[in-house]
């Protein structure tokens, strides 16, 4: 069926909001957190009002219903990702926790001098856990650099022997949350596997935008978060090859992750429950499964095509703004729907992204200003911070026009002051 953006927008009541000044809300911050369709909110409301209980612990009707809903959500997410079995899905509270889980459990086998490889374009959540792991184990942290146009510098990596017999873990973003770059994960994974490394993929920006099939991607572990894919906050997902998950030690101790507990020791449950200590995010899992079903019904290929079309339109419009510099790819080749940029005023000074964001907000346009939890990447491009506009399945051309008009107003404002 045709991708009807206006019909989709009707599913998101918040998009009908206006500002206190009566301006329409233009929400261009979906890389930070997406809006939620009514069906997701209603699914969670129904669970709390009619089926609320803890899972796997109560031998009564509500307990059985809650458990069925929770495990059903696991199965839905497995199908959404093309996983071989539902037991490959581990629920966490967000992608950051999932990446920390990867670092802690994979780190159990590291020795001093082993190497961990990430990239300079990673979100802090895919940098700090590996730094902590390296400090804890004596491993060495290395990274892919990026080219001037925001691509992984694979040629330099080969020249420098970045991946070698000491490499044990490679963890990279599928899609950059700053540059929008879609990284060649399959190529990176093949090179990592050739030296015997485990491949972790941060797919927080990819899963909402692209069809993701873990059976062909080449990842061994993959993480993402619910709130960026029209789902609720408070829930993330770790997918892993079951044979690898079965080898990994627990991350947190507590209820449900155990098999037998004695005062002298414990044995642990099989995956995924080994990694889900305590009461899990039950209603959030219900909401996330509903979000995955909603996206499936729309068609991930169609969502990706819309993202491509609307981002290309945005890049064309941004190119008309004097003093605007796009960080990263300025074409749609291997590119997603986040566009970060800097503005330089008539005096040659960079306009602070917080000022840009505030002026745009005064016109009802929501963007993000800062380093977007990717400070090393901004340093690589020689800037302290940037403004980011990010688009999604409900973004319209009219909203892009409003952004371009708002940036024109911003440049006139600062040009007059310089």
Cβ proximity of 65 and 283 under 8 Å: no
User: Is 397 strand, coil or helix?
Assistant: helix
Cβ proximity of 25 and 19 under 8 Å: yes
Going through 52-135 in order, the beta strands assigned E by DSSP cover 89-92, 115-119
User: Is 375 strand, coil or helix?
Assistant: helix
Sign of the dihedral through C-alpha 127, 176, 32, 282: negative
**Which residues 6+ apart lie within 8 Å of 348 measured at CB?**
none
Cβ proximity of 163 and 191 under 8 Å: yes
DSSP-assigned states of every residue in 120-165:
TT--GGGTHHHHHHHHHHT-EEEEE-B-TTS-B-HHHHHHTT-S-T
**Side-chain-side CA neighbours of residue 367 (13 Å):** 33
User: Is 88 strand, coil or helix?
Assistant: helix
Beta 221-225 vs 236-240: how paired, if at all?
Answer: antiparallel
| Catalytic residue flag (residue 102) | no
Q: Which of 258, 332, 373, 383 is catalytic?
A: 373
Give CA–CA dist 338/209, Å, rounded: 11
Query: So which residues are the catalytic ones?
Result: 373
């Amino acid at each position: 069926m045709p991708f009807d953006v206006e019909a989709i927008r009707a599913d998101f009541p918040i998009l009908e909001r206006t500002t206190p000044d009566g301006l329409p809300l233009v929400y261009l911050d979906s890389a930070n957190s997406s809006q939620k369709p009514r069906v997701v909110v209603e699914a969670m409301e129904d669970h709390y009002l009619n089926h609320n209980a803890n899972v796997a612990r109560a031998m009564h009707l509500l307990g059985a219903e809650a458990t069925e809903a929770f495990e059903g959500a696991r199965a839905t997410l497995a199908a959404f990702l093309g996983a071989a079995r539902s037991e490959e899905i581990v629920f966490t509270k967000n992608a950051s926790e999932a990446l920390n889980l990867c670092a802690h459990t994979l780190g159990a086998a590291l020795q001093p001098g082993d190497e961990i490889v990430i990239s300079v374009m990673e979100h802090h959540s895919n940098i700090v856990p590996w730094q902590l792991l390296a400090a804890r184990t004596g491993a060495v942290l290395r990274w892919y650099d990026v080219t001037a146009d925001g691509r992984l510098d694979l040629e330099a990596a080969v020249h420098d022997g970045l991946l070698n017999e000491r490499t044990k873990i490679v963890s990279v973003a599928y899609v950059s949350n700053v540059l929008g770059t879609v990284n060649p994960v399959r190529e990176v994974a093949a090179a990592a596997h050739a030296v015997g490394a485990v491949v972790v993929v941060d797919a927080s920006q990819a899963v909402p935008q692209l069809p993701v099939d873990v059976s062909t991607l080449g990842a061994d572990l993959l993480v993402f978060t619910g709130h960026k894919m029209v789902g609720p906050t408070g829930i993330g997902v770790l997918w892993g090859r079951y044979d690898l998950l079965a080898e990994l030690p627990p991350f947190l101790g507590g209820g449900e992750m155990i098999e037998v507990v004695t005062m002298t020791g414990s044995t642990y449950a099989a995956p995924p429950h080994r990694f889900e200590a305590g009461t899990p995010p039950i209603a959030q899992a219900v909401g996330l499964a509903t979000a995955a079903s909603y996206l499936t019904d729309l068609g991930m290929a169609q969502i990706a095509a819309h993202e491509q079309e609307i981002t290309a339109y945005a890049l064309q419009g941004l190119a008309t703004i004097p003093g605007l510099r796009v960080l990263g790819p300025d074409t749609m080749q291997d590119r997603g729907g986040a566009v970060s940029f800097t503005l330089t005023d008539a005096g040659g000074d960079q306009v602070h992204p917080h000022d840009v964001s505030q002026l745009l907000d005064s016109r009802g346009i929501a963007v993000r200003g800062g380093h977007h939890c990717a400070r090393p990447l901004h340093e690589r491009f020689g800037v302290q911070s940037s403004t980011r506009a990010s688009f999604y399945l409900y973004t319209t051309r009219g909203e892009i026009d409003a952004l371009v008009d708002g940036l024109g107003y911003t440049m006139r404002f600062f040009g007059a002051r310089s």
